[in-house]
Chain A
């Protein structure tokens, strides 16, 4: 099975840019890399998804190198409300259906 690795926690300050990296080996060659945000007692909320290079939407950017063995979620100018747990999700390279979750990065934004 594929395996993912994320930092357990990160701290930052309001207005700063935050980058969270997820390392993932043996991921499905035809699948996307997806990041979710989760607040306590809520379901994960989709943030951004990409296949390779760089993807940007209104809330984040996602950088994926050519070898797709990692991905970096970039949150520009964070605010207190960005305090949450962030997960990366990838498809397993050995299975047509198996999804592999990162352990989650608890991001704490300070004023």
Chain B
């Protein structure tokens, strides 16, 4: 089974900061990696798909990069509405999904 390891598990940053969250896969997953944002009491919402593609309607301050085993989600200028928990998710050819353990982002 492929394991996804996110870091950090929690993060505190100031409005306007650049924020980076990483996700490490236990084996090569090419670009089969998506990022989700989840706010309390809500379902997750996809931000980035296939490693670096921005989902329609997602602000341009969000970006994704990486391939193989190492991936990053970057928020270039943190906004108060970005407070949430972020998850990476890998998928395989059969569409089995594995999620990272999540990164809780707070405002400093």
Partners in one complex: no
